[in-house]
Amino acid sequence: MSLTDKDKAAVKALWAKISKSADAIGADALGRLLCVYPQTKIYFSHWGDLSYNSGPVKTHGKKVMGGIALAISRIDDMTNGLLELSEQHAFKLRVDPANFKLLAHCIQVVIASMFPNDFPPEVHVCMDKFLANLALALAERYR
């Protein structure tokens, strides 16, 4: 399910509309992930405060959206463009890649709630494909 030119254009157009709110989106999506899928908390047991909109959640949400922005800038070759991030997730963080689709779902729920008019089905499918491909690129170095 690789990205067509139409998909890439749609993702970039959506990003242009939502990127000003990237920090808020990231914080909300991550806070939501920890709440809706509590098993994901295990990756953050070293944080004092896992509550919604806590300092560490906001900071980390911002970092995640920075990764998304990077992926968009390298959308034509995410596998090679995200090798460093993949190595970090594979060897250092060792996040089970099944969790990537949970966060992708939360990100899209947040986008839908914040920008309902900018996320019709025709845009949703492109974003869903993009996040799925991003997850694959992130898992590239796992084994």
Least separation in angstroms between residue 110's CB and other proteins is: 8
Asked whether position 112 contacts other proteins by CB under 8 A, the answer is: yes
Would you say 7 and 130 are in contact if contact means Cβ atoms under 8 Å apart? yes
Of residues 7-46, those binding other proteins (CB under 8 A): 28, 31-32, 34-36
Least separation in angstroms between residue 83's CB and other proteins is: 29
Q: How far apart are CA 60 and CA 64, in angstroms?
A: 6
Alpha helices in the chain (DSSP H): 5-18, 22-36, 55-73, 78-81, 83-87, 98-114, 121-138
Of residues 50-109, those binding other proteins (CB under 8 A): 52, 105, 108-109
Note the Cα 101 to chain centre separation in Å: 9
List residues binding other proteins (CB under 8 A). Answer: 28, 31-32, 34-36, 52, 105, 108-110, 112-114, 116, 119, 121-122, 124-125, 128
